[in-house]
């Protein structure tokens, strides 16, 4: 039976996912069979698993760090927000229901059963399971039905390391304050703390580090300096979407929808030195000098169509087309390009029909069945590439006669008669060097190769970074 250790944070976005990924790679390099685990995740950035389900993107990266295939048990509860107050609830890879935030707590006992079942399955096949918390254990109002932090840790008897983010300021209060609000049972579950994202000379924090240890009674496992290459790993949080502009290169603009999903599709383009990828957020007009506009995935296609029009982006897109620009729609973005999207059963929200952008002669009907599969495809010109499908709805129409790709002889996607507007349900295609080279080549751009190998190299550098600055031996010893 595997030992286990849990990384919790003093708040959201303090670097828990990165810390777990680094520990996964560091311990895997020591010859251990390691698995990542996150009881509950909230994200619209997901990955398709080898067993035909979906999990949060962060757990996919962590599994990559462990050099092990993805399974639904690495993230048994995935919440995919569809509105400000509701989310789709995915349990062990499959959609269970749509729940409002107020009603979600009623599901917790049922969900805890699935969480503990998945955790037991991982422990049965590994030497070490490294667990990632969600949010903060200091949210004591959520503690009675918690399945993500101390509720899980105490139920499964997993020791906890609490990580604080010094870059955002107030890290002493983050850690000491968390200690102050925990009850005795939860406090006893904490095996120690660490400091993340330090910039400058770590020795300048020696007194603060000692203060935290003295006032919490927790063992310290080190101060981790800022890891500069973190941006090269697939991001899960929409807060990480900002991209610095580049001088020259192919100008690509991606519209940032309110319910944008699977935006890690764009990471290989973002990291290519010959591509200037800009994320166009609400309130910004589409720049007039862009070469390609990408409409990414969406968790609420009809809702984000309305959002798109509210920004005036439909007008900008029409002008972009008149100037001879190109448009690519991926998944939900592909559905938006058609004549309409119809959802008679109210699968993604209120039942109804929404007029699309009319840039492709296709139409989409939302159906309950969700397509979840990893695929080997051929581009329109015959280049093989890998990707995955993760969508509801079926798209048909005249422009499907010019498919974007084929999968086992089946036509996939669509293209306009002049080829300047294309759409596809396939995620992850830009990770494939061959496909990315072909796609960029049509614009006269030479693609940088080796994206996947570079991600693997970054994971090794992250593990080296943590080995240098943290007590990794002590963290492993703390697992039980």
Residues 106 and 48 reside in one and the same domain: yes
In a domain, 187, yes or no: yes
Distance CA 473, CA 476 (A): 5
Mean pLDDT calculated for residue range 394-409 = 96
Query: In the prediction, which pLDDT does 287 show?
Result: 95
Burial of 213 (0-12, 13-18, 19+ CB in 10 A): middle
Model confidence over 344-359: pLDDT tens digits? 998 888 899 999 999 9
Residues 223 and 256 reside in one and the same domain: no
In a domain, 310, yes or no: yes
Residues 466 and 440 reside in one and the same domain: no
Rounded percentage of the chain residues whose pLDDT exceeds 90? 86
Distance CA 303, CA 228 (A): 36
- Asked if 321 and 337 touch (Cβ cutoff 8 Å), the reply is no
Look at residue 1 and tell me whether its pLDDT is greater than 90: no
Residues 136 and 260 reside in one and the same domain: no
Model confidence over 133-161: pLDDT tens digits? 999 999 999 999 999 999 999 999 999 99
Model confidence over 237-294: pLDDT tens digits? 654 555 566 777 899 999 999 999 998 999 999 999 999 999 999 999 999 999 999 9
- pTM (two decimals): 0.91
Query: In the prediction, which pLDDT does 85 show?
Result: 67
Residues 134 and 214 reside in one and the same domain: yes
Model confidence over 169-208: pLDDT tens digits? 999 999 999 999 999 999 999 999 999 999 999 899 999 9
Rounded percentage of the chain residues whose pLDDT exceeds 70? 97
In a domain, 210, yes or no: yes
Q: Return the CATH number at 115.
A: 3.40.50.300
Structural domain including 65 reads 3-231+457-478
In a domain, 375, yes or no: yes
Nearest to 294 by CA among 336, 234, 348: 336
- Asked if 303 and 397 touch (Cβ cutoff 8 Å), the reply is no
Distance CA 23, CA 472 (A): 8
Angle at 238 between CA 234 and CA 241, to 5 degrees: 70
Angle at 349 between CA 345 and CA 351, to 5 degrees: 40
Residues 197 and 166 reside in one and the same domain: yes
Residues 227 and 269 reside in one and the same domain: no
CA 232 to the chain's CA centroid: 13
Alpha carbon distances (Å) from 357 to 143, 163, 336, 354, 371: 45, 46, 6, 10, 24
Query: In the prediction, which pLDDT does 347 show?
Result: 85
Residues 151 and 257 reside in one and the same domain: no
Residues 194 and 261 reside in one and the same domain: no
Sheet containing strand 94-100, edge to edge, reads: 40-42, 77-81, 86-91, 94-100
Residues 403 and 361 reside in one and the same domain: yes
Residues 279 and 337 reside in one and the same domain: yes
In a domain, 239, yes or no: no
In a domain, 334, yes or no: yes
Bigger pLDDT: 56 vs 83 = 56
Number of domains in the chain: 2
Residue numbers annotated as active site: 331, 427
Residue partners of 48: CB distance under 8 A and separation at least 6: 54, 70, 372, 373, 374, 388, 389, 390
Query: In the prediction, which pLDDT does 239 show?
Result: 46
Q: Return the CATH number at 430.
A: 3.40.50.880
Structure confidence at residue 2 as a pLDDT band (50, 70, 90): very high
Query: In the prediction, which pLDDT does 52 show?
Result: 87
């Amino acid at each position: 039976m595997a030992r286990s250790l849990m990384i919790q944070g003093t708040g959201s976005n303090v670097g828990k996912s990165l810390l777990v990924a680094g520990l996964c790679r560091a311990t895997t390099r020591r010859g251990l069979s390691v698995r990542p685990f996150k009881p509950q995740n909230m994200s619209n950035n997901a990955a398709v698993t080898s067993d035909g389900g979906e999990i949060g993107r962060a757990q996919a990266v962590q599994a990559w760090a462990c050099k092990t295939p993805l399974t639904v048990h690495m993230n048994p509860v995935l919440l995919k927000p569809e509105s400000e107050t509701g989310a789709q609830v995915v349990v062990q890879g499959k959609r269970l229901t749509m729940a409002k935030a107020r009603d979600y707590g009623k599901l917790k006992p049922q969900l805890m059963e699935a969480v503990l079942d998945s955790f037991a399955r991982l422990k049965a096949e590994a030497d070490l399971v490294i667990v990632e918390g969600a949010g903060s254990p200091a949210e004591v109002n959520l503690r009675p039905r918690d399945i993500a932090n101390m509720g899980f840790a105490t139920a499964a008897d997993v020791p906890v390391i609490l990580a604080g983010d010094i870059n955002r300021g107030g890290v002493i209060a983050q850690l000491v304050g968390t200690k102050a609000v925990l009850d005795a049972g939860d406090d006893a579950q904490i095996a120690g703390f660490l400091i993340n994202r330090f910039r400058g000379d770590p020795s300048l924090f020696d007194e603060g580090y000692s203060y935290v240890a003295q006032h919490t009674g927790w063992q310290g496992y080190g101060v981790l300096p800022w890891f500069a290459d973190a941006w090269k790993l697939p991001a899960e949080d929409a807060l990480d979407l900002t991209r610095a502009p580049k001088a020259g290169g192919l100008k690509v603009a991606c519209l940032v929808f309110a319910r944008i999903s699977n935006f890690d599709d764009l990471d290989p383009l973002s990291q290519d030195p010959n591509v200037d990828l800009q994320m166009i957020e609400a309130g910004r007009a589409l720049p007039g000098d862009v070469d390609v506009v990408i409409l990414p995935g969406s968790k609420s296609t009809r809702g984000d169509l309305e959002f798109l029009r509210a920004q005036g982006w439909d007008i900008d897109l029409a002008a972009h087309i008149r100037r001879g620009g190109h448009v690519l729609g991926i998944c939900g973005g592909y559905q938006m390009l058609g004549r309409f999207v119809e959802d008679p059963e109210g699968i993604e929200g209120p039942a109804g029909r929404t007029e699309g952008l009319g840039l492709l002669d296709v139409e989409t009907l939302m159906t309950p069945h969700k397509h979840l599969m990893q695929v080997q495809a051929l581009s329109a010109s015959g280049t093989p590439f890998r990707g995955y499908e993760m969508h509801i709805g079926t798209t048909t129409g005249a422009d499907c006669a010019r498919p974007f790709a084929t999968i086992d002889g089946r036509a996939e996607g669509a293209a306009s008669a002049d080829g300047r507007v294309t759409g596809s349900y396939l995620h992850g295609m830009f990770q494939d060097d061959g496909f990315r080279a072909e796609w960029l080549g049509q614009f006269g751009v030479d693609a940088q190769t080796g994206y996947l190998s570079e991600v693997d190299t970054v994971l090794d550098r992250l593990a080296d970074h943590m080995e240098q600055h943290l007590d990794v031996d002590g963290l492993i010893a703390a697992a039980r």
